[in-house]
Structure 1
Amino acid sequence: MTLTLPTMPTVRKYRRETTEVSSCLKYMIFGFNVLFWMLGLCILTVGVWAWSEKDIFNNLGKVANAALDPAFILICVGTVTFVIGFTGCVGALRENTCLLATYAIFLSALLLFEMTAGILGFIFKDWIKAQAAIGFQSFIIHYREDPDQQNLIDWIQEDWLQCCGIEGPKDWDRNNYFNCSSRDVGSREACGVPFSCCKRQPTELITNKQCGYDVRKPGFPKERQIYERGCLRAGEEWIEGNLVLVAAVKVGIMILQILGICFAQNLRGDIFAQKAKWH
């Protein structure tokens, strides 16, 4: 009698297929851009809120100087930051090659714009200086009409550059409230300057909003406690004194943009390689 031994089942070894998509690269792009997404959303929200407070959405005729409106600038910056952060964040998380390509295109366009602006700014610096003077003049003219522009020019004069006017305090004669002829219509600010032109005293705890009254009158004491330097020259001196810092920040931003483009393209390549395995 022949005994038949039971055959042992064949054990097949399956090799676990590794993915081509780098998790480190994927979540690094996601984490970096989710911050930009939220930052852009916050900036956009503040800009829209500022415009709605001024009721510009219902009075579009006020948008004559929209390019100089801080609220409009916030809306533009917030929108660009939000879109770039959204495409990079969702594109990396969902491994969407279309969104990643859009993200890389946006960064490339922004990088090209910054490089072009930097080159043109160096070549046409006199024209840019003239445009800055025109923009600051518009701020002075509409100082009491737009609270955003008023706060911006006060910050420039008092906190940032410690200056007054474009070329000097006399430029505030362009404003109807500070013009010396406004004394005839009862303006208390006539022949004066805004408080942001005044030099803060070391012992001053509360800002004196009336410190600029009458400082440009002919009979006013010679020693005026206001900034005599114009903001245009002060801005030039600030750029010259911080040129290395400005250049370092600019180069750092451009390096981050180049890395973002490279990382997005590498992740797209990994996703395409993984899809090729499936087929």
Structure 2
Amino acid sequence: MVVGVQLSMGSRCVKYLMFIFNLLFVISGILLISLGSVIFAIFHEYRHFLDKEFLSVPSLLIAIGVIIFLIAFFGCCGAVRENYCMLVTFATLMILVFILELAGGISGYVLRAQASDIVTEKMNSSMAEYKDNTEITFLWDGIQKKLRCCGTNEPKDWQLYFDNDSLPMTCCDPQAGAAGTVSCKLNSTSELHVHDVGCAPAFLDFVKLHALQLGGVGFGVAFLQFAGIWFAISLAKSIRNTYESV
């Protein structure tokens, strides 16, 4: 004769809450995959200014999102079917994912400390290729337009590669190039405006902004993980105690 397992009212509440949390896990997994993909694409666009390690952080975020999306299956099935083994598997996998997130956070913190030197070195070396490498030209013109910056640390950095105080046209406001007969120079007249901010500090602020987004989402997912792990362990204990009392 098969004896049905009857959970207490409190355990049933935990069961339904865990099911809801797993739906949130699915959504958070999709969010991590989407955000990681967007930031990976942004970092890849500026890969000449960054080391490969910077691409590993959003890649790890995408991997974690996929894993969370998949293991939410164990949590949902375990809660609905009141299956002890599935719940324990879910809790174990979530703990492993949390360890991965912790490792990614530590790596991100280490990279953040090294970011300034890496970006400055990469930008300085790429400036020498500005006139000869179409990809580098496009990259520098794009970042100087988007971030309204010029040179690595200041506009004078370009004087090693340009004569007569000349600068790339993207170092000046758009109207400078629109005039046709006007060129962008270090000592431009009042009708022109040279971007006086270096691209290294501007780009670092840009990277830190996206790192903050990653950190915020990671913190939110970590909170959900703690709650989900607690619910899974509590429900698993309740199911085990119920079976033992039967």
Instruction: Give the TM-score range, shorter chain.
Output: 0.5 to 0.7
Native 8 Å contact 1:37 1:84 kept in 2: no
Counterpart in the other structure of 1:19: 7
* Rg larger for: 1
Q: How far apart, in 2, do the equivalents of 1:265 and 1:275 lie?
A: 15
Q: How far apart, in 2, do the equivalents of 1:103 and 1:139 lie?
A: 48
Identical pairs, percent: 27
Q: How far apart, in 2, do the equivalents of 1:79 and 1:276 lie?
A: 36
Counterpart in the other structure of 1:93: 80
Q: How far apart, in 2, do the equivalents of 1:39 and 1:251 lie?
A: 11
Q: Residues 247 and 124 (structure 1 numbering): CA distance in 2 closer, same or farther, change over 3 Å?
A: closer
Counterpart in the other structure of 1:108: 95
What one-letter code is carried by the residue in structure 1 that aligns with 2:22? N
TM-superposed CA distance for 1:266, in Å, is 0.9
Q: How far apart, in 1, do the equivalents of 2:103 and 2:58 lie?
A: 25
Native 8 Å contact 2:64 2:97 kept in 1: no
Residues 75-106 of structure 1: CA deviation (Å, up to 9, x unaligned)? 43541341243333333233333333333233
Q: Residues 40 and 117 (structure 1 numbering): CA distance in 2 closer, same or farther, change over 3 Å?
A: closer
Counterpart in the other structure of 1:270: 238
TM score, norm. by length of structure 2:
0.53
Q: How far apart, in 2, do the equivalents of 1:31 and 1:253 lie?
A: 14
Q: Residues 39 and 116 (structure 1 numbering): CA distance in 2 closer, same or farther, change over 3 Å?
A: closer
TM-superposed CA distance for 1:267, in Å, is 1.3
Counterpart in the other structure of 2:195: 226
**Structure ranking higher in helix proportion:** 2
Within the candidate set 162, 169, 194, 1:192 is matched to 169
Q: How far apart, in 2, do the equivalents of 1:134 and 1:250 lie?
A: 30
Q: Residues 169 and 225 (structure 1 numbering): CA distance in 2 closer, same or farther, change over 3 Å?
A: closer
- How many residue pairs get aligned? The number is 215
What one-letter code is carried by the residue in structure 2 that aligns with 1:265? I
Counterpart in the other structure of 2:49: none
Native 8 Å contact 1:101 1:265 kept in 2: yes
1:67-216 alignment, distance < 5 Å: 68=55, 75-116=62-103, 118=105, 126-131=113-118, 157-158=146-147, 167-168=153-154, 191-193=168-170
Q: How far apart, in 2, do the equivalents of 1:74 and 1:122 lie?
A: 15
Native 8 Å contact 2:116 2:200 kept in 1: no
Residues 148-181 of structure 1: CA deviation (Å, up to 9, x unaligned)? xx8xx86xx55xxx766754567899xxxxx869
Residues 96-127 of structure 1: CA deviation (Å, up to 9, x unaligned)? 33333333233323333444555566677533
1:229-248 alignment, distance < 5 Å: 229-232=198-201, 235=204
Structure 1: which 5+ residue stretches go unaligned?
1-15, 52-64, 174-178, 182-189, 200-206
Structure 2: which 5+ residue stretches go unaligned?
41-51
TM score, norm. by length of structure 1:
0.48
Residues 10-68 of structure 1: CA deviation (Å, up to 9, x unaligned)? xxxxxx984247121112121122133145347658989xx9xxxxxxxxxxxxx6963
- Relative contact order (C-alpha < 8 Å, sep 6+): which is higher? 2
